[in-house]
Amino acid sequence: MKISFVTTNKHKFEELKAVLAEFDIEVEQIKASYPEDKEDLMEQVALKGAKMVSTKLNKAIVLEDTGLFFEAYTGFPGAMPKFIFEKIGYDGIFRLLKDKNRNAYFKTVAAYCEPGSEPVLFEGMMKGKITEKVYDEQKEAMPYDRIFVPIGYDVTISDMEIETKNSFSQRAQAFKKLARYLLDKESE
């Protein structure tokens, strides 16, 4: 089996590829744009986007949206982690969290859609804490992975092997749910 993942982010693509390989599902990366309305919840963005791209390309596709939520600021950075990081950087994030509760969680919603069908949603969540400094600045990593230590670990995501991360990350959880759904569907 092979599915198409709509993303421009190679880290995300590598993560899905590694997770789906365990299920013998191949994945190709495709680039396509879809509206991400700033008033919409992540779930709405993913569902609408999956339906639109699947219809347009006339193929089965998956896409995902990942948000980050600080306990100290409800809904922040929320569905806007990229925007927030680009604008205020690590310095701004540390200013906001100084002497505050540093608990946070990542949430991924993955929407899968076949042409002519309704999209299906799979979610995953990873809880942890925002660090007080930036780790692994020299290493290639997604920005928040350098300042996030998952519960039960004592290192940041950026300091983990990809296999370790994929054993529990919110994105891997969502992708594994998708994989099981696809295998069940195939065996029906």
- Which residue ranges make up the site for a copy of itself (CB under 8 A)? 35-39, 73-80, 83, 86-88, 92, 95-96, 98
Least gap, CB of 48 to a copy of itself (angstroms): 10
**Residue 24 annotated in active site:** no
Q: Is 24 left (phi over 0), alpha (psi -120 to 50) or beta?
A: left
The single residue of 24, 40, 65, 154 carrying the catalytic annotation is 65
Q: What is the spatial distance between Cα 173 and Cα 184, in angstroms, rounded to a whole number? A: 17
Residues near 27 by Cβ (< 8 Å), separated by ≥ 6? 2, 3, 4, 5, 13, 16, 17, 20
Contact 172, 166 (CB under 8 A): yes
Least Cβ distance, residue 105 to a copy of itself (angstroms): 15
Nearer residue to a copy of itself within complex by CB, 22 or 37: 37
Q: Report, in Å, the least distance between residue 44 CB and a copy of itself.
A: 12
Q: What CA–CA distances, in Å, run from 140 to 6, 77, 145, 164?
A: 22, 22, 10, 16
Query: Which CB sits closer to a copy of itself, 77 or 150?
Result: 77
Q: Give 60 or 96: the residue with its C-beta nearer to a copy of itself.
A: 96
By annotation, the residues acting in catalysis are: 65
